[in-house]
Structure 1
Amino acid sequence: MSAAVTQVSENSTNQLAADLTVLQRKWYAAIQPGQSLPSYEEVMLGSLGRLADHLVLLEIDGETPEVSRTGRYAQQWLCDERWDIPLDALSPDCGTALAQAASGALQNKRPHLGTAHCVRDGIVQRYTLLALPTASRWGGTLVGVYVNEEAQRYNLLDAIFSSTDDGIVALTAIRGPDRRPFDFQIVHVNHGASQLLRHPVSELRWSRLSAGHHLLCSADVAGRLIELVDSDASVTFAVDSGDRNLSVSATAFGDVVSVTISDVTSLKKREESFRLLFDGNPMPMWVFDAQSFEFLSVNDAAVAHYGYPRERFLRMSLREIWPREEWIAHGQTLLEMRDSYQSEGNWRHIKADGSEIHVLTFGRRVLFDGRDGFLVAVVDITERRKAEAKIAHMAHHDGLTNLPNRALYQQRLEQALAQARGSGTMVAVMCVDLDLFKNVNDSFGHPMGDRLLQCVAERLRQQIGDGDLVARLGGDEFAIVLTSLATPNEASSFAARLIEILSAPYDMDGLEVVIGASIGIALAPSDGDECEALSRNADMALYRAKAAGGGCHHFFEKEMDRQAQIRRDMELDLRQAFARGEFELHYQPLIDLAEDRIGGFETLLRWRHPERGMISPSDFIPVAEDIGLIVGLGEWVLRQACLEAASWPSDVKVAVNLSPVQFRSRNLVQVVISALAQSSLVPHRLELEITESLFLADSEANLATLHQLRSLGVRISMDDFGTGYSSLSYLRSFPFDKIKIDRSFVKDLTQRPDCLAIVRAIAGLGRSLDITTLAEGVESVEQLDVLRAEGCHEVQGFLFSAARPASEICGLLMRFGRQASQAA
């Protein structure tokens, strides 16, 4: 091998190693805490570059894995550019290699490195496969398989003949002025030819036949070759030269003539060399007669693998290792064979002990002991087929509990519903959700949580009868299908018993773990006779059971569906409302008690629906948060409020409420900076109001964002202070500028001493920490007097004004200078 070729090979090897490292790092970096598999989008989408050309994306969500997408390089390897096809539609060598790699990745839930030997027209190429399992947001699993070449190609069957003493010579014709060939020049010669022609390779190469002194230079041989040039034909003839009998085969390709020289006297040595490579080969191989299909020779590997004694093997024909039902198919394939072949499908062979194996076969026509035969190499893929069957099982079962997964659950439920329609029986679908399971994960870790899920699955499995089904839908949610129910009472009794069984303590290595269960039930046909509708209704019933405190079961009711429809309609209207400009801002004045004037306005979002009129924020804000609309909507509110406040007097502030969802977007600081810059509003005139729910998740990141906002000069206020679990501890976590006393304490301020005590404590806390206190919901002069006496700094409520449109701000500023004093 030349230095240049060696360098190319080394570069290819280095590139392959680098690709594998990049992909594995990307996979491990994408795993989030609590996940067994990273998401498909994090691993397979974006920044892959040329690596995407080498990927085969397998979708493991059905009985047969499907090839979902393929890159350009992968398509060349597969010899197939189609997408969305079953894995078994590919050529068997590629299909089984992909199945085996995917099986390893899914079984271990981590990247799996494998190899593939693919044969095309007898050419063998070794490939490296890296399978990356990922979770799909649509359910099921996606496995991305990276494919790339590992080594140079070689011809498996030709390698057996590579030790032949045959000589190979390539000649080019030399033509005269009349364009007729009259001589040849040797442009290529191998060592075999050098030995047979008895001249060194260096002397033969580039020499002319007319100037040489070897057997090709004889007038008879040269004349035959000249006649051959313009005919583009082939010819074989014998040449006797002293003590040797040679056979010369020549084929013309225009002015190029390929000559093969064989020494008949070396046949015995050639046969010995063949025997060495044939008999000692670890791959099962044999030679069979092309007409009778009888075995002419078998190697040691075939004898060992199939279990037939050699003597018996050589008395058998191919039909005796074929299943009888495949005789016609096998026979037809052999009749259609040419000089070489590879099996297009998986064949079944019968071993001596009667067991069946699945094989791929590769053959080449040979002359063996003077008989026309085929040399065959056999690859046993039985284990690969088992791997395919395992993948098919995994496609329908949960990897942790081995319960049916969502795909099989839907399939079996559809079957049960179809049978119930014909028999008039009842079918129950139960959605089961574990209570307190999150506490187990948080307290003891996910390995303990996984073991607990396996124990729960076993208890569920023991409770169902023949024809029923229990499946794991994901996380700690399970589903049960009960068939042939007579009355709803049977479903109720079963659910109650199941909750009791699942709530019994679990012994986990001496540690007693106690959880509970909630169940939602939907019955067919009364609650729906289609799979999707019935499952959805059972899920709504589960939501009602969880809302009731858990540990109980609840049947689906029509009202649930009505409420769900209202929710779906609101989601649709919300998305359209933002685009149609149906939202508007109202402002409620904040009264500064020390100066008896308006010190600022709280911004309140209003939705004016074209048909339903004004919709309460308490109805649509939670929905906007759930569907992710609150981020864009909140940005719009912030920008509009700052623009409006910029036109107010310079000492009047504007307060804007922030949703915890806006903090998760991680670009909140940039949005605030942009809003201030666009409006030219001074930062200290902007007050951002948050609730304590912001601290319940990812508190460190949220605190960092709050500190960034405060560093801009923006004021931070805590809304609804005193109603949460840890409000006081949050005052230690962050230096708030303002705390707002919740309206629930102000409402009964003059009737209940405990409310007065709480207000007094909060006001005193504000003075001690130098934090402004504001009381919400002030509706009477008596309430105002008490709040003033307790030292509250600001108030707001209907006593002064409800929230008003921006167009009324000027009037409020003019009027409230007097009204605030009069109210006081």
Structure 2
Amino acid sequence: MPVLRRKWQAALKPGETLPRYENVLLGSLGRLADHLVLLRCDNGEFAVSRTGRYAQNWLCDARWDIPLDALRPDCATVLTGAASNAIANNQPYLAAAHCVHAGMVRTYDVLALPTLSRWGGTLVGVYVNERATEYNLIDAIFCKTGDGVVSLSTIRDPSGRPFDFQVVHHNQAAARLLGVEEGNLLLQRLSSSDHLLCSQEVIERLGATVVNDVGDQFEIEHGDQSLRMRVSAFGDIVSVVISDVTSFKRRDASFRLLFDSNPMPMWAFDAETMDFVRVNDAAVQHYGYARETFLRMKVQEIWPDDERVSYTRALRDAGDIYQSEHPWRHVRADGTEISVLTFGRRLMIEGREGYLVVVVDITERRKAEARIAHMALHDGLTNLANRGFHQRWLGEALETANATGKRVAVLCIDLDLFKNVNDSFGHPIGDHLLEQVADRLRSRVAGNNLAARLGGDEFSIILTDDTSPEHVSEFAADLIRTLSAPYDIDGNQIVIGASVGIALSPGDGTSSAELMRNSDMALYRAKEDGRGTHRFFEREMDLQVQRRREMELDLRRAFSRSEFELHYQPLVEIASDKISGFEALLRWPHPAKGMISPAEFIPIAEEIGLIGPIGEWVLRDACNEAVKWPSEIKVAVNLSPVQFRSRNLVQVVISALANSGLAPKRLELEITESVFLAETEANLAILHQLRELGVSISLDDFGTGYSSLSYLRSFPFDKIKIDRSFVKDLAKRSECGAIVRAISGLGRSLNISTTAEGVETTEQLDWLRAEGCNEVQGFLFSGARPAAEVGQLLVRFGARASKAA
């Protein structure tokens, strides 16, 4: 099944919902083909197209081209379910089939693989294989039951009278309940054994059951154990079902103590006179009245004066069983009131008709409910209003403001540098900081205004009292100063900042959703402008968001419509002046906007999660193209750090190589230092797995990050690429030459190849050759060209490289 799953996944092409039938279920299946049932789906109805030999044995039917309902119902049902679910989800679907024949159960795994037929419609290949050995259903049921089951054969005397019995079958539970080792019970005669069935009384009752052909039931007491025997006779075969009723017996005995020893307050009172007849210890302790006092009182005396009439009426209207729908108020001996729920049943008590009542004190529960209601509207850490309360308050404030012609201001607040506090001091210190931030917000908010924590380090304030732009601006500036003052937490002085985005109704929105969205956009602008400041919402911000949203939609459409292209820029080996490979570069020729820069759309693709499928397509297409080139020419493909998060990157590379037939040594994967900024150990493990495939790993944009040397120590890269920013000013700035010289020397020392990017002049090429750089790329040789022009570059490049040299 894993082989079939991988084969199905590898055959799935970008933009397709299902792979082609011939790419999944034709060829290279070997013995797996014997286990396949090929189903044809026409207008929602399934029919059997082909079956393998193993599948035919399972179906007990070797026919082809028959409707699915012509098969055995158990097989047809599981095939229909698996195939329907696979088509509905456009994914392989695994089901289990349990087939019963002559009391024997066999379990099969059933894997349905949906595919597209070249003749139209859908074909589903269903792989069937037995999972485990068969087992007897009846034996399994009897073995699993907790009751003991014993079958006895009757032994008769010369006159035909039953006088003894022999055990011919029993389950494990029977041996356990009778206290006999399992091997010592089978085929033993009761008269020669020593267990609970061997007493003369039991043998006589068994004999009477055989003679009278009437079932019997009785119980046996053995020490602390109580066993119930249910006896049935079938001719000379007697069946005894043994049940352990010890716990039931004990519960029956304890029920007699239920009233007196119950921890819940209970009493009984006369239905006519309302006098207390009996009270248990729990009622005496809970209400504080002495037992003698209780038994001289009427029920009305524990009710508050203002409720006696309504409670009396409710009790008179109660039926044989009642439960108070709402909490009742009761008065204890010390005068304090409690809230209770009462449950009563009408019955005869000491010869009189009355009620047995159980009381549940919910006083603390009601207090807890009040606390829960508060918690439902407030943040658990800061006790500020939470998001739900904030939204409700804002909606009500807008209704009032819209009706009176006033304004509402929403301030969205984000703490600057808060993540650094958590990373440096730990989350407990971070939580204390949030509590102090909340205290400062409370000190600034009064009247009909509200402060709330929306989540994490995001807060909001709703202003309704004075919402003139001048006042709101002054308020925001003062709020930033307040929140930016140092905090003293557990002896640590912590300094953070705050950024504020502001939206004012009705100009910036008349609904809570509009105001929140626009204040959030203003906050984003405040953070972009350097943090520690406030910004009002402007319509241009909305336009930028709309452009960003339009770009997202265009990206998704472009991927589904296969608008992306791969262009290839040559990598030139300095020593031989020959092309050693090509770097695959993604291009997007938008049908309306023209060529869009990767710097513009790649970050958005990473944020919206589209870079994964795009990256898979790039790998697959680049390998398919490179396999057409001369065998010594490599192809380099850039990997996004986001692709490492999916954890299936290695499988994607294996699939691309396998489908194309490209040798792993001809594939070079380029990563940037940002791969190491998060989940370093996991990402390093992925890189090592890729190296084990024979793929080369290159570190791109070397020297522009923070810890390049530590990365070289962490992983044995095959190549480091010198960023174009150093090559650009190579002849003008001495420090650029020093950096290039250092990187080239470092590469030679570590036996790592070096490639310089952005080479545009012969002067730069001469410098790089003198400094010992191994490889170059740039417009001096060629820009990135479509795949169709790679052959021309390979033909013409020899002369061009020699001339450049």
TM-score, scaled to structure 2: 0.65
The question of whether the paired residues in 1 share the 8 Å contact of 2:568 and 2:585 is answered with yes
Q: Aligned in 2, Cα 1:683/1:373: closer, same or farther, shift over 3 Å?
A: same
Please, what is the CA RMSD of the aligned residues?
Answer: 3.1
Deviations along 1:96-155, whole A, 9 cap, x unmatched?
xxxxxxxxxxxxxxxxxxxxxxxxxxxxxxxxxxxxxxxxxxxxxxxxxxxxxxxxxxxx
**Alignment match, 2:586:** 605
What amino acid is the match of 2:428? Answer: P
**Alignment match, 2:282:** 301
**Alignment match, 1:768:** 749
**Alignment match, 1:358:** 339
The question of whether the paired residues in 2 share the 8 Å contact of 1:779 and 1:799 is answered with yes
| Alpha-carbon shift at residue 750 of structure 1 (Å) | 2.7
Q: Say whether 1:504 aligns with 2:485.
A: yes
The question of whether the paired residues in 1 share the 8 Å contact of 2:269 and 2:354 is answered with yes
Q: Say whether 1:461 aligns with 2:436.
A: no
Q: Structure 1 CA distance, aligned partners of 2:766 and 2:220?
A: 112
The question of whether the paired residues in 1 share the 8 Å contact of 2:449 and 2:465 is answered with no
Q: Aligned in 2, Cα 1:354/1:632: closer, same or farther, shift over 3 Å?
A: farther
Q: Say whether 1:538 aligns with 2:510.
A: no
Q: Say whether 1:427 aligns with 2:402.
A: no
Alignment of 1:522-537 (within 5 A): 522-537=503-518
Q: Of residues 540, 548, 551 in structure 2, which corresponds to 1:570?
A: 551
Q: Say whether 1:519 aligns with 2:479.
A: no
**Alignment match, 2:606:** 625
SS at match of 2:503: strand
Deviations along 1:273-308, whole A, 9 cap, x unmatched?
999875665432222332454544444533442345
Q: Of residues 459, 464, 470 in structure 2, which corresponds to 1:489?
A: 470
**Alignment match, 1:547:** 528
Deviations along 1:745-768, whole A, 9 cap, x unmatched?
222223323323322322232233
| Alpha-carbon shift at residue 485 of structure 1 (Å) | 2.4
Q: Structure 2 CA distance, aligned partners of 1:708 and 1:509?
A: 45
| Alpha-carbon shift at residue 645 of structure 1 (Å) | 0.3
What amino acid is the match of 2:650? Answer: V
Q: Aligned in 2, Cα 1:643/1:277: closer, same or farther, shift over 3 Å?
A: closer
The question of whether the paired residues in 2 share the 8 Å contact of 1:425 and 1:485 is answered with no
Q: Say whether 1:387 aligns with 2:368.
A: yes
**Alignment match, 1:652:** 633
Q: Of residues 771, 781, 785 in structure 1, which corresponds to 2:766?
A: 785
SS at match of 2:408: strand
Q: Say whether 1:717 aligns with 2:698.
A: yes
What amino acid is the match of 2:711? Answer: Y
SS at match of 2:409: strand
Deviations along 1:688-716, whole A, 9 cap, x unmatched?
00111111111122112112211221111
**Alignment match, 1:799:** 780
**Alignment match, 2:102:** none
Q: Structure 1 CA distance, aligned partners of 2:562 and 2:471?
A: 52
Deviations along 1:205-244, whole A, 9 cap, x unmatched?
99xxxxxxxxxxxxxxxxxxxxxxxxxxxxxxxxxxxxxx
Deviations along 1:736-790, whole A, 9 cap, x unmatched?
1111111122222233233233223222322332222222122223322322333
Q: Aligned in 2, Cα 1:339/1:757: closer, same or farther, shift over 3 Å?
A: same
Q: Of residues 795, 798, 803 in structure 2, which corresponds to 1:814?
A: 795
Q: Structure 1 CA distance, aligned partners of 2:635 and 2:257?
A: 92
Q: Structure 1 CA distance, aligned partners of 2:532 and 2:215?
A: 94
Q: Say whether 1:367 aligns with 2:341.
A: no
The question of whether the paired residues in 2 share the 8 Å contact of 1:779 and 1:798 is answered with yes
Q: Of residues 700, 716, 727 in structure 1, which corresponds to 2:708?
A: 727
SS at match of 1:485: coil
Alignment of 1:71-110 (within 5 A): none
Alignment of 1:54-203 (within 5 A): none
Deviations along 1:245-288, whole A, 9 cap, x unmatched?
xxxxxxxxxxxxxxxxxxxxxxxxxxxx9998756654322223
What amino acid is the match of 1:540? Answer: M
What amino acid is the match of 1:359? Answer: V
Q: Structure 1 CA distance, aligned partners of 2:521 and 2:384?
A: 23
**Alignment match, 1:615:** 596
Q: Structure 2 CA distance, aligned partners of 1:749 and 1:469?
A: 59
Unpaired segments ≥5 residues, structure 2: 1-213, 222-229, 232-253
Q: Of residues 723, 729, 739 in structure 2, which corresponds to 1:748?
A: 729
Q: Structure 2 CA distance, aligned partners of 1:512 and 1:408?
A: 33
**Alignment match, 1:65:** none
Q: Aligned in 2, Cα 1:704/1:373: closer, same or farther, shift over 3 Å?
A: same
The question of whether the paired residues in 1 share the 8 Å contact of 2:377 and 2:386 is answered with yes
| Alpha-carbon shift at residue 676 of structure 1 (Å) | 1.2
Q: Of residues 428, 432, 449 in structure 2, which corresponds to 1:447?
A: 428
Query: Which shifted more, 279-288 or 638-647?
Result: 279-288
| Alpha-carbon shift at residue 644 of structure 1 (Å) | 0.7
**Alignment match, 1:172:** none
The question of whether the paired residues in 1 share the 8 Å contact of 2:445 and 2:451 is answered with yes
| Alpha-carbon shift at residue 621 of structure 1 (Å) | 0.9
Q: Aligned in 2, Cα 1:326/1:731: closer, same or farther, shift over 3 Å?
A: same
What amino acid is the match of 1:809? Answer: V
**Alignment match, 1:480:** 461
| Alpha-carbon shift at residue 729 of structure 1 (Å) | 2.2
Deviations along 1:472-501, whole A, 9 cap, x unmatched?
122122111121224212122122222222
Q: Structure 1 CA distance, aligned partners of 2:261 and 2:427?
A: 52
Q: Say whether 1:438 aligns with 2:419.
A: yes
Unpaired segments ≥5 residues, structure 1: 1-183, 192-204, 207-272
Q: Aligned in 2, Cα 1:526/1:322: closer, same or farther, shift over 3 Å?
A: farther
SS at match of 2:801: helix
Alignment of 1:572-591 (within 5 A): 572-591=553-572
Q: Aligned in 2, Cα 1:367/1:751: closer, same or farther, shift over 3 Å?
A: same
**Alignment match, 2:109:** none
The question of whether the paired residues in 2 share the 8 Å contact of 1:470 and 1:479 is answered with yes
**Alignment match, 2:388:** 407
| Alpha-carbon shift at residue 670 of structure 1 (Å) | 1.6
**Alignment match, 1:16:** none
Q: Structure 1 CA distance, aligned partners of 2:651 and 2:706?
A: 31
What amino acid is the match of 2:691? Answer: R
SS at match of 1:739: strand
The question of whether the paired residues in 2 share the 8 Å contact of 1:414 and 1:531 is answered with yes
| Alpha-carbon shift at residue 523 of structure 1 (Å) | 1.8
Deviations along 1:170-194, whole A, 9 cap, x unmatched?
xxxxxxxxxxxxxx99988999xxx
Q: Aligned in 2, Cα 1:542/1:651: closer, same or farther, shift over 3 Å?
A: same
| Alpha-carbon shift at residue 366 of structure 1 (Å) | 2.8
Q: Aligned in 2, Cα 1:186/1:759: closer, same or farther, shift over 3 Å?
A: closer
What amino acid is the match of 1:527? Answer: D
SS at match of 1:750: coil
SS at match of 1:744: helix
Q: Structure 2 CA distance, aligned partners of 1:662 and 1:275?
A: 69
SS at match of 1:651: coil
**Alignment match, 1:213:** none
| Alpha-carbon shift at residue 652 of structure 1 (Å) | 0.7
Per chain length, whose mean CA-contact separation is higher, i.e. which structure has more relative contact order (CA < 8 Å, sep 6+)? 1
The question of whether the paired residues in 1 share the 8 Å contact of 2:447 and 2:465 is answered with no
**Alignment match, 1:471:** 452
The question of whether the paired residues in 2 share the 8 Å contact of 1:425 and 1:484 is answered with no
How many residue pairs match? The answer is 564
| Alpha-carbon shift at residue 623 of structure 1 (Å) | 1.0
